[in-house]
Amino acid sequence: MKLKIELTKHPKEKPSDETKLGFGHIFTDHMFVMDWEESLGWHDAKIVPFAPIEMSPAATCLHYGQEVFEGMKAYRTEDGEIRLFRPEENFKRMNISHDRICIPQFDEAFLLEALKKLVEIDADWVPHTYGTSLYIRPFTIGTEESLGAHSSTKYKFMIIMSPSGAYYAGGLAPVKIYVETKYVRATPGGMGFAKTGGNYAASLKAQDVAAEEGYSQVLWLDGVHRKYVEEVGAMNVFFVIGDEVVTPSLDGSILSGITRKSAIEIMRSWGLKVTERELDIQELVDAYKSGNLREAFGTGTAAVISPIGELKYGDLVMQINKNEIGEISQKLYDELTGIQWGKRDDTFGWIVKVK
Ligand SMILES: *Cc1c(COP(=O)(O)O)cnc(C)c1O
């Protein structure tokens, strides 16, 4: 497939104050678009000026939630190199999400080349300050004009990009997490492993309730027994219990995070015992009470590592590691961000250079 490129004639002014970027409000000059229909497959791939898209109010995505997305970042090193972190993993996962939501597969190698081109064109939008990045949002929507409840016969795949601020403006800090016992995010056989907007719609209510109580995110338990730990909001979760680092195994209702996968590989390379297994919330409570729950942290592209300082389960409020950043959390954060921003060697070969 050929990639057409139409550059903007009206470049926007770039944000001058990188401390005020926030997240997801500012968009670069260009975007990637590609369409699908039965007779043509994926076609008309192009990079065009960022602009609103026209769509029928009857487009399937607006009614039945046929949508899939990804989240990744472009980083600028001190000497001006622009790079991506394991982007092929994002496109691989996106095709897995596509399959679950009945959206046709795409050519991952082509998309990676298109993304590199898009980032290269908008390279000046990658912010300069350590910790800031260019957030990249690939997504696909069903666009057929039809109110019939079936999978769409037309799709649009797009990539938009947004310069975003440092997640921890004041340095790495522990968060408070609320263990959700009423609402459920995903169930076996559902679509918890897919990165799709519907999973987020399902999670907003619990998120609001937790926020009212002063907690930043919820920890989900499994939808059947309501006792096995799954994940946190938009992050996977790890617990250091004694000498073992435990993270819930990928059981179909958990998103397979790329930061999770990378954290596991790094910790194993350090010789730590990392186990992917079922984790009963009661085991955490017991470990806490016996003083064996040493650390807890979330992993995700946005925060990289998010130390958990407090965990509330029913009436029990557990302070973990005295609400301070744990040793492994800090070390992992330094290693991962070091690789991403080019301060440490990319010994695993995870970096893809754009320019
Ligand atoms: C995106 C996401 C994650 C984290 O995945 P990364 O690839 O590490 O960014 C975890 N859980 C959910 C529900 C997510 O959507």
Mean pLDDT value across residues 326-331: 96
Given a cut of 80, is residue 344 above it in pLDDT? yes
For ligand 1, the distance from its centroid to the CA atom of residue 340, given in whole angstroms, is 17
Which residue from 91, 195, 199, 256 has its CB within 8 A of the most atoms of ligand 1, so it is best to mutate? 195
For residue 172, pLDDT beyond 80: yes
pLDDT mean across residues, the chain: 96
Residue 154, pLDDT above cutoff 90: yes
Q: Using most ligand atoms within 8 A of CB, pick from 203, 235, 304 the residue to mutate for ligand 1.
A: 235
CATH for the 4-164 domain, from 3.30.470.10, 3.20.20.140, 3.90.15.10, 3.40.50.300 = 3.30.470.10
Pocket test for ligand 1, best of 69, 93, 101, 255 (most atoms within 8 A of CB): 255
pLDDT at residue 90 is higher than 90: yes
Within 8 A by CB and 6+ apart from 161, the residues are 27, 28, 30, 31, 74, 118, 119, 122, 125, 134, 135, 136, 137
> What is the model's pTM?
0.97
Q: Is residue 171 pLDDT above 80, yes or no?
A: no
- Percent above pLDDT 70 for the chain: 100
Ligand 1 pocket, 257 CB below 6 A?
yes
Assess whether pLDDT exceeds 80 at residue 138. Answer: yes
Give me the percent of the chain exceeding a pLDDT of 90. Answer: 95
pLDDT at 61 over 80: yes
Residue 44: how many other CB atoms lie within 10 Å: 14
C-alpha distance across the termini of the chain, in Å: 23
**Whole-number pLDDT of residue 168:** 78
| pLDDT for 123 | 98
Protein residue closest via CA to atom 15 of ligand 1? 234
- Interval 274-293: pLDDT, tens: 999 999 999 999 999 999 99
208-245 pLDDT, tens per residue?
Answer: 999 999 999 999 999 999 999 999 989 999 999 999 99
Find where tokens 């350090």 sit. 270
Please tell me the distance between residue 162's alpha carbon and the centre of ligand 1 in angstroms: 18
Largest CA distance in the chain: 65
Burial 230-239 (b: 16+ CB within 10 A, else e): bbbbbbbbbb
CA–CA dist 281, 165 (Å, integer): 34
Give the CATH number of domain 175-340; options: 3.40.710.10, 3.20.20.70, 3.20.10.10, 3.30.70.20. Answer: 3.20.10.10
Distance CA 35, CA 5 (A): 15
Domain chopping of the chain, boundaries: 4-164, 175-340
The confidence score (pLDDT) of residue 72 equals 98
Centre of ligand 1 to C-alpha 39, Å, is: 34
- Taking the centre of ligand 1 as the mean of its atom positions, its distance from the CA of residue 275, in whole angstroms, is 19
| Listed residue (83, 81, 74, 85) closest to 262, CA to CA | 85
Q: Mean pLDDT across the stretch 102-109?
A: 98
What is the atom index within ligand 1 of the atom nearest the CA of 260?
8
- For residue 237, give both structure tokens: 């979760």
Report how far residue 49's alpha carbon sits from residue 6's, in angstroms, rounded to the nearest whole number: 7
- Render pLDDT for 15-54 as a digit per residue (tens, 0 to 9): 999 999 999 999 999 999 999 999 999 999 999 999 999 9
- Residue 60 reports pLDDT greater than 90: yes
| Rounded distance between C-alpha atoms, residue 302 and residue 284, angstroms | 26
